[in-house]
Each structure stands twice: as structure tokens, then as C-alpha cells.
Structure 1
Amino acid sequence: MSVETAPDPTETDVESLGEELGEAITTLPEYEAFEEAQRAVEADEEVQAKIDEFERVRQEFMMARQTGTASQEDLQHLQETQEELHAMEPMADFLEAKGDLTARLESINRAISDPLAVDFGGEAGGCCHD
């Protein structure tokens, strides 16, 4: 016969607060803008084609680098392809929205971590790093 113990009410409260925080984050203007920008990127055929091209060029460059045949021109071509992608309005909007959301989430992380003197968004361990 096993004895079940009731969950610690503090644990349950903290988990509930975590769920509420996650739900609240989805209502932030930064999150909503990010979601909208992501949908726009996914729906834009030209952007999707440029993403495919960039991924192909990046993969070719990585293979060339692994075999030691990558040239400065190969790197420049990769950078140019990325710049072309990032210059496309839907992608530029997405990258801006992503940056805004990241900044807001970092702020939220600080608000959670500051009272604990632990950065849970970073590395929380301190004794086992090489």
C-alpha cells in the first residue's frame, strides 16, 4: 500500500503563477507583433524563396569550410544573401519584432531573477563549469 502525499501548496501556487505568466506574455504587444510578423514571413512566397536560397548558400559554405575549400568570396556571397533576406520588408519587420520581444522577455527574466540572485535565463550553476 502506497501513501500519497498532498502536493506542497506553495509548489502548486508557483506553477500556477508560471502558467499565468506564460499566458500574460502571449498578450503583450511585443508578442502579438512578433506573431503577426512571423505569420507575414511564412505567408510571403518571395521571402520563403530567399530563405531557401540563404539556407542553400549557408549549407554550401559550411560544407566548403569543413573541407577547407571555403574562400573569402564564398563568405561574401553568404553575407550578401543574408543581407538581401534581411532587407526584405517582411523579414526586416520580423527581425525587429523578434528583437523587441527578446528585450521584453529579458526584462521579465530580470524581474524574476533579481529577488533570487540567480539568472535563470542564463546559467544557474556555479560549481561545475570548465
Structure 2
Amino acid sequence: MSVQTDRLETLGRELGDAIAKTPEYDAFERAKAAVEADDEVQSQIAEFHAVRDRYVQARKTGGATQELVREVQSAQEDLHSMPKMADYLDAQKELQERLESINEAISEPLAVDFGGEAGGCCQE
């Protein structure tokens, strides 16, 4: 590997370490841990997944109804209204916004969307 490639990989690791030390990442990790440790939230997540899976299966077989759509929406609203889940979603949004800002800073001198298109081919 060339010295330049080694340096870029080192910079990439340093960037990852720096991101992990941001308040947004810390808040996300704390909110994620709170969601994972809460049995009530985990139960609601499981319920949402079960309802969503029934809907997906019904769609595949042509049996999806508006009632089933409402059940999915209701289960999602119930889940998102839980304080720990709401905190998690807010923290996730804040982290995503921070990562998008970092992506823009990296992408600007490259004239490509580093996070979205750098690995792609022939995108219009």
C-alpha cells in the first residue's frame, strides 16, 4: 500500500474516532442503550414488527386492507410516542444531520456525494 493510501486510511480512522466523540453520537448511543434496556419499548417494537410483517405478507398475497394499513400506522404511532423511543428517534435525527454535514465537507472538494455516490457507477 502506498504512503498516501495509508495516510488516508489513518485520516478515516481519526474521523471515525472524532465522530464517536461528538455530543450527537453520545446522545444517540445513550438513547439506543435506553431503548434496548427497556422491556416495554422492546415489546412495543416487537408488536410493531409483527403488525408490519402481517401487512407485508398481506400485500404479497393481495390481501392488504385499509384496516391493516391503519393497524400499522397505529402501532408505529404507539411506538414513536413512547418517551424513550421518541428520544432515540430525535437523537438519531440529530446524528444523521451531523453526518450529512460531515459528508458535505468531505464531498465538496471531490465534486461527488462522498457518502452517497462515491462508490457508485454511472449514476445520473
The two structures, once aligned, show a CA RMSD in angstroms of 1.2
Alignment equivalent of 1:55, drawn from 49, 58, 63: 49
Q: In the alignment, does 2:120 pair up with 1:114? A: no
Q: How far did 1:121 drift?
A: 1.2
Note the alpha carbon deviations across 1:81-128, whole angstroms, 9 max, x for none. 00000000000000000000000000000000101101121123453x
Q: In the alignment, does 2:4 pair up with 1:19? A: no
Match of 2:26 in 1: 32
Structure with a larger share of its residues in helix: 2
The 2-side partners of 1:54 and 1:113 are apart by 37
Where does the alignment leave 5 or more consecutive residues of structure 1 unmatched?
Answer: 1-6
Alignment equivalent of 1:96, drawn from 77, 82, 90: 90
Note the alpha carbon deviations across 1:50-96, whole angstroms, 9 max, x for none. 00000000000111111111100100010000000000000000000
Instruction: Give the aligned length.
Output: 123
Q: Percent same amino acid at aligned positions?
A: 55
Note the alpha carbon deviations across 1:17-69, whole angstroms, 9 max, x for none. 00000011100000000000000000111100000000000000111111111
